[in-house]
Amino acid sequence: MHFIKNYRILTKQPGGWFKPIHVPFTRMSLSRSFHGSNFVNSLSVKDGLPMRLLLLGSPGSGKGTQSSRIQKKFNIPVISSGDILRQNIARGTKIGEIAAKEIERGAYVPDDIMIELITKELQNKQQNWLLDGFPRTINQAVALDDRLAMTDRSLNLIINLSVPEEVILQRIMDRWVHVPSGRVYNLSYNPPKINGIDDITGEQLTKRSDDNPETFKIRLQKHKALTELLLEYYAKRNILVTFCGRTSDEIYPQIERELLKRFGSGNLG
């Protein structure tokens, strides 16, 4: 169902009041029934709504894999906190020095550093983007919300990947990465054309310092301890969708369908 030109919708105001506003969407369709407290989220607004996405999921759940597929299909830039940290490590920056120590032992880089790093990245981005790996703590989530609210561009979809733990460990042991681009390979799932070499640039692939069974166990535990809080924080907002599956191939079509339903084909790459 399409409605051309301006459409009048109700939106929830901070004080709890609902006020009609005019929204210049080109197309809009109703895809969810009108239950729940947030009227706006029950609408699927197409072609023209910027994609401001967050990808959540345990280590090895396929965030990097899914984000590169979304990036390719919808032509949106990805901001991956892990990739940015690894690039800092490779360049030998001050942040890289701090990050190297924390990453190697499966710990998190301090909130203040991460908030500064990622919000700076976001300043350079236009309307559409996908965040992978940030925020990871409530402090980071609150700081991100505050910064985004200042420019009236809050998150509009949170994609949570749920993959059984038993399938994840083997993936990690087989993972190779191209640090400058963040491209991810897996020896059995998506191997490079030439062993140890990035398909696009011909540069060397490397193993991540945190991809070993001991560190991975710590990363998983840390993730479990913090993720529930984060999911609870976002669940209240009604823009959180969880996708379950054993492989990224099983999950990706579900994500793509949801994105097309919510954002239409206007962003297709």
Annotated binding site for AMP: 81, 86, 133-136, 140, 208, 219
Residue 8 a catalytic site member: no
One-letter amino acid for residue 80 of the chain: S
Q: What is the nearest approach in angstroms of ligand AP5 to the Cβ of residue 87?
A: 11
237 annotated active-site = no
**Per CB under 6 A, 65 contacts ligand AP5:** yes
Q: CB nearer to ligand AP5: give 27 or 63.
A: 63
CB nearer Mg ion, residue 36 or residue 191: 191
Rounded CA-CA distance 213/215 in Å is 6
- Is 52 an annotated catalytic residue? no
How would you write 74-111 as a 3-class SS string? HCCCEEEHHHHHHHHHHHCCHHHHHHHHHHHCCCCCCH
Strand 18-23 versus strand 7-12 pairing type? antiparallel
User: Any catalytic annotation for residue 262?
Assistant: no
Binding-residue total with ligand AP5 (CB under 6 A):
35
Which of 12/69 has CB closer to Mg ion?
Answer: 69
The binding site for GTP comprises 60-65, 175, 184-185, 248
Please, which residues have CB within 8 angstroms of residue 223's CB and are 6 or more apart in sequence? 58, 59
Q: Which of residues 106-145 bind ligand AP5 (CB under 6 A)?
A: 107-109, 114, 133-134, 136, 140
Residues marked as binding?
A: 60-65, 81, 86, 133-136, 140, 175, 184-185, 208, 219, 248
Active site residue: 136, 171, 183, 262, which one? Answer: 136
Give the angle subtended at the CA of 227 by the CAs of 104 and 119, to the nearest 5°. Answer: 70
| Shortest spacing between CB 67 and Mg ion, in angstroms | 8
Nearer to ligand AP5, 178 or 219 (CB): 219
Q: Are 255 and 173 in contact (CB under 8 A)?
A: no
Locate the DSSP E strands across 63-204: 78-80, 129-132, 157-162, 175-178, 183-186
CA dist 117 and 64 (Å) reads 19
Residue 248 contact among Mg ion, ligand AP5, none, beta carbon within 5 to 8 Å by kind: ligand AP5
Residue of 52, 63, 171, 262 marked active site? 63
Does residue number 162 form part of the binding site for ligand AP5 (CB under 6 A)?
no
Q: Roughly how many angstroms between the first and final C-alpha of the chain, as a whole number?
A: 24
Which residues lie near Mg ion (CB under 5 A)? 63-64
Contact indicator for 49, 156 with CB cutoff of 8 Å: yes
For residues 210 and 33, what is the distance between their CA atoms, to the nearest angstrom?
A: 44
What are the backbone angles phi and psi of residue 129, rounded to the nearest 5°? -165, 165
Cβ closest to ligand AP5, residue 82 vs residue 264: 82
- Which residues are catalytically annotated? 63, 136, 175, 208, 219
Residues at the site binding ligand AP5, with contacts judged by CB under 6 A: 57, 59-65, 81-82, 85, 102-103, 107-109, 114, 133-134, 136, 140, 171-172, 174-175, 184-186, 189-190, 210, 219, 247-249
